[in-house]
A and B are shown apart, each in its own frame.
Chain A
Amino acid sequence: MTARQPSDTNSAANATGSVPVFRVRGLTKVYRMGEVPVHALRGVDLDVAEREFIVILGPSGSGKSTLLNILGGLDVPTEGRVFYREQELTRASERELTAYRRHAVGFVFQFYNLIPSLTARENVELVTDITERPMDPDDALRLVGLGERLDHFPAQLSGGEQQRVAIARAIAKNPDVLLCDEPTGALDISTGIVVLEALERINREIGTTTMIITHNAAIASMADRVLRLADGRIAEVIVNADRRPARELSW
């Protein structure tokens, strides 16, 4: 394990030779939890390269989700600047952020967040209906291995299946980036691996830049780069020369 300075992080990203998808500078976020100010992020610098697969590790309260939410346009920082390619997200209006989420970002959450009143295919259609160059919903579901369960409602699917529908929904818009917050957190090992395989395949085949938050250090070996957050800062960056296939992971 090698600890590096944030400036080295940049060069590491640039070393891959592509244009950064995200450029983050001096990102700070202070929440007020009632009377108490909580420093979720204390000056984070980060570049994310195209097609990169990043795993973010760290204990609860280290600022992982806050970082991801700000990158995804769900939250705004207290200080610092965030660029998505040419666009400065930290200056975007609510309307622009919505458009950004709509066309560029795919989200996957721990608790799937499917619409219970819509079938698997309809949950995906929800997205393909509103984006400019979507995939065919059936293709998206086949990509996550759910070609057979298109017409099932969430209540008729297992947890892993629901999470794969959520992934299909996230990728069906052909997003530029895929942001996953604890995608396997509510799943058992074997199901979790199926879900990770889906993410891996999408990153490999479509080239979607992917960032995954997890508590599970075992997942780290499938990433191009691992960021370890502690106390609102990037405490450590690990670059894997070889990514392990998800199939071989165990925990």
Chain B
Amino acid sequence: MRPLTRKLWRDVLAQRGPAAAIALVIGSGIALYVLMVSCFWSLERTRETYYERYRFADVFARLERAPQRLEREIAAIPGVARVRTRVVRDVALDVPDLEEAATARMISIPARRRPMLCDVFLRAGRYVEPGETDEVLVSEEFAAAHGLGPGDTIHAVIGGSRRPLRIVGLALTPEYVYTIRPGDVLPDSRRFAIVFMERRRLAAALSMEGGFNDVVLRLSPTADRKEVIRRLDDLLEPYGGRGAIPRRLQMSHWYLENELDGLRKFGRTIPVVFLVVAAFLLHVVMSRLVSVQREQIAQLKAIGYSNRDLALHYAGWSLVVAALGAAFGLAAGAWFGAKMTSMYAEFFHFPLLEYHLPPRVIVEALAVGAAAALLGGQAAVRRAVRLPPAEAMRPEPPRVYRRSVLERAGLGGWLSPATRITVRSLERTLGRTTITVFGISAGAALLIGGTFTLDGMDAMLDLQFNVAQRYDALVTFYLPASPRAIEEIAGLPGVIRAEGFRTVAARFRHRHRLRHGVLTGLEPGARLRQIVSSRGRRVPLPARGVLMSAKLAEVLGIRPGEALEVEVLEGRRPRLRLPVAGLVDEPLGTEVYISRDELHALLDEPRVLSGAHVLLDAAGAPRFHRRLKNTPMVAGVVLSEAAIRSFEDTLERTVGIVRTFNVMFAVIIAFGVVYNAARISLAERARDLATLRVIGFRRREIAEILLGELAIVTLLAIPFGLAGGWLMAWIVVRAYDTELFRMPLVILPRTYATAVIAVLVAAVLSGAAVRRKLQRLDLIAVLKTRE
């Protein structure tokens, strides 16, 4: 080993405390990067493979009913590569271990297994076969939630009659990687099943023989997607087409894309904070190293080592630290990444979600770590290079101090000499103090930014389920029901109150922008379903015109007072121009509300109902569900309470992991910063502190001087950390502002408190570590040497 290399290792070893602390901070940044980016690639690669092998479609359309011969016309649209027509219908499902009815999305499959668009992956059992009973494939997560498997039987109310369905296989399909029941805001695998049934049987049960009500397309690579959709819509319009949508707007795909987008965004931003802090720490520690080794540098130059040798030597110090950090970061990132990826399997249903860490990510992580190290070290390296040997042999000129701001402001009388030492040195090293304050506050901010989502989620759920949706059950009908239906429901056992509503599928358009959705007609006096802004404000239904989600208005580029084009996609399919009476910034979805009276008038129909919101008394609820389970006209019952509970369970499990990462990394960053600050001041002040000990100061008293400095810096950093945390939360909220949901910017005091406590714990730990060094301060050695 060359002597300089040996010196490098020994220097690192001598400074192992600060080196380890900085390596941990770099490592945390790299770990977060590897974690998020590898999760991204794992999901992305899995998704791509799945979509490709199981032929996920490019265009999706629903309609009322079209004859089978239309399939050939659809196939003839230029750009269409493949067509699959299907019969799809949501029906009520009776599973033994569930009090209320679940919803099954019945999807037709061919009698013989053959490759098709939106194919099924068979996890267990076999494909359906013709025979006496109806055989079905059931989505894996639903079966798992109920402990069902091949051989079990469930009952569905299909086309007005209750039919036993024999499960022969458990299946997955790329169309439902993320499953969410229509009308639900949260996934609930206990209450929503995808059920595949042989086409002729399903069609017969639904009186759809010789027809279809759903079509999916694969496009050729050169196809003009918009044009295909336009022509498909034209073809389907006479058959009650509900408007075709591209893959981008397909629900499951959309959620998945949203998540991937988040990983991509945060995977590239959050780690930067760590690396910037690490670079600052390196800058501080290396500057100190170079100034302590001034005379050594001069000696080396005098002996004949070149500037390049010295530059490499000192840059080497930061690279060794970065390499240590990278090793830790890669290991931690890969470990947490694998954990997080398997956590994703709870939300996203893939045949196989394999953790994948592309070599590229490793290379990028290493490059970023090295860049941070070199950036942090470059000022110190340049100083080492620039030092003329003769000058460097002389000791550094004495440090110049002056009275601090506090004292110049006339508050000096309040300060003891010991406090003055602290205040003046903080002020003299203002740059370093600033870096320390910045670093600590970054720790607190990251902690808040990383954990507030639970607060936002809680607030959102609370708003949604305790203020906006105060019903216990949402009952939907297959076909619009007569106004009398509401009285029947109100008369069911356990019902306290029932309120009817009317919804129609519609296409909303403003200029060239377009979205598919639902126009919801509510009673102005409705109590069980209210329209509430994300700040909790109730918004009344306008007497005329629509009240629409602010997000949808943003997407369509429409403002209040302008006219919204509404193409109703049911019944007589009127095209309406409705004034936008107001906007409401709801946290979920992109709803358009209208008063029920106006909707009936516009549709030129009697006061029919699409469904009802029902308030139940707890005691009567079981009887209500038993009665409804076998009511043919009811398509499904959505329970608010159950949805929240099942979602919160999942959140507990998954968010817990994410919280752990965040808290851990935030504590590391805070610890790294405080510890380094403490070590540097200990090194710079060893002489002062030894002098004080000689004069007769007790150990506790000098510890107070040193730790007092840390305390001041830490306390100074806390308000900045809290403000920074708010800012990070704001950025996260902006990043997740999508049409699916918008998280409200809610940060509870407990989140702020956690961040403060974590920072204080980190400060106390580093204080304790430095205090141990202080105990071993060698008074004589310090005083005998010239500074």
Contact = CB atoms under 8 A, between A and B. Distances in A.
Nearest to A112: B691
Interface string B375-418: 00000000000000000000000111110000000000000111
B686 to A, nearest CB: 11
Nearest to A113: B691
Contacts of A114: 691
Nearest to B398: A155
Nearest to B424: A117
Nearest to A162: B398
Given A113-B691, A122-B420, A101 B696 contact: yes
B779 A116 contact: no
Nearest to A115: B688
Nearest to A109: B783
A131 B697 CA distance: 10
Contacts of A117: 399, 401, 420-421, 424-425, 428, 688
Interface string A89-128: 0000011001101110101011101111110001101110
Contact of B696 (A102, A116, A123): A102
A69 B693 CA distance: 13
Contacts of B750: none
A126 B417 contact: yes
Interface in A128-173: 129-131, 153-155, 169, 173
A75 interface: yes
Nearest to A156: B400
B400 A153 contact: yes
Contacts of A122: 417, 420
Given A117-B428, A130-B696, A125 B417 contact: yes
A130 B697 contact: yes
Contact of A126 (B398, B424, B425, B695): B695
Interface in B698-712: 698-699, 701
A218 interface: no
Instruction: Name B's interface SS.
Output: helix
A102 B783 contact: no
Interface in A188-209: none
A111 B417 contact: no
A118 B400 CA distance: 10
Query: Quick one: which of A114, A115, A122 has the most chain B CB within 10 A?
Result: A115
Interface string B666-701: 000000000000000000000110111111111101
A10 interface: no
Nearest to A103: B696
A129 B699 CA distance: 16
B780 interface: yes
A153 B400 CA distance: 8
A129 B400 CA distance: 24
Nearest to B428: A117
Nearest to A98: B698
Contacts of B691: 113-115
A230 B502 CA distance: 109
B421 A102 contact: no
Nearest to B784: A65
Interface residues of B, number: 33
Nearest to B418: A126
B114 interface: no
Interface string B416-446: 1110110011001000000000000000000
A107 B692 CA distance: 11
A69 B687 contact: no
B776 interface: no
Contact of A154 (B398, B420, B425, B783): B398
Contacts of A131: 696
A95 B783 contact: no
Contacts of B697: 98, 102, 130
A55 B639 CA distance: 96
A69 B401 CA distance: 30
Contacts of B420: 117-118, 122
Contacts of B693: 98, 101
A144 B136 CA distance: 103
Contacts of A129: 416-418
B401 A126 contact: no
Contacts of A110: 784
Interface in A39-94: 65, 69, 72, 74-75, 94
Query: Quick one: which of B398, B401, B694 has the most chain A CB within 10 A?
Result: B694
Contact of B401 (A72, A107, A116, A125): A116
A102 B699 CA distance: 12
Which 3 pairs between the two chains have the least Cβ-Cβ distance?
Answer: A102-B696, A117-B424, A101-B696
Interface of B: 398-402, 416-418, 420-421, 424-425, 428, 687-688, 690-699, 701, 779-780, 783-787
Given A113-B690, A117-B424, A131-B696, 12 more contacts: A65-B784, A69-B780, A102-B695, A102-B698, A111-B783, A115-B691, A116-B398, A117-B401, A126-B418, A127-B696, A129-B417, A130-B701
8 contacts: A74-B694, A99-B696, A102-B695, A102-B698, A126-B695, A130-B696, A130-B701, A131-B696
